[in-house]
Amino acid sequence: MINQIKQDADARMSKSIEALHTALNKIRTGRAHPSILDAVKVSYYGSDVPLNQVANINVEDARTLSVSPWEKNLVPTIEKAILTSDLGLNPSTSGGLIRVPMPALTEETRKNYIKQAKAEAEHGRVAIRNIRRDANNDLKALLKDKEITEDEERRAQDDIQKLTDKYIAEVEKVLQLKEEDLMQI
């Protein structure tokens, strides 16, 4: 029973780290990376689908992405979707290819992106702490039902705290890497 609670907490905490990686990938750096366009949705035959399901996204050079739609009639739709996304990108079309230049980041935008990254990291830390709280509540319920002893509960809570500390440290490491990435010129 205790091992199931620990395994569940571990799995949920690792999913929180994955969610943090996904959220941080949406914060663009000065360099071109296909994951920047992951949040862009395109209207395709009446439904909104992710851009990477209707086009190939490639890195042309360090500051340019190229988007090549699978259907030529999607070019204006994709261009409009990139323009209206809150990424601050201005695509240019040449024939069936859409080029998306990455504007250079100013000091002010870098600081704003770092604030945004720190906020995402804090969401990750809060999620991990909530998982710890849930696991501890499950342990208390087992103790109340007399399925485990107080010593077993205390040991399990210590293990869950170690797990929490490990994942909080992982959040800090991911945040530090993103900050370094954002501050590179």
Output the domain CATH number for residue 59: 3.30.1360.40
CB count in 10 Å sphere of residue 5: 20
Quote the pLDDT of residue 158.
94
Instruction: Give one DSSP letter per residue of 93-140, joined into a string.
Output: EETTEEEEE-PPPPHHHHHHHHHHHHHHHHHHHHHHHHHHHHHHHHHH
* pLDDT at position 140 over 70: yes
Check whether residue 87 and residue 41 sit in a common domain: yes
- Which pTM value belongs to this model? 0.71
Structural tokens at position 52: 């990477």
Q: In which residue are the tokens 């090549």 written?
A: 68
Give the domain range for residue 179: 2-25+106-183
**DSSP code at position 148:** S
Q: pLDDT digit string (tens) for 9-34? A: 999 999 999 998 888 877 766 677 77
Whether the predicted pLDDT of 82 surpasses 70: yes
Final residue before a domain boundary, out of 65, 84, 101: 101
Q: What is the CATH number for 134?
A: 1.10.132.20
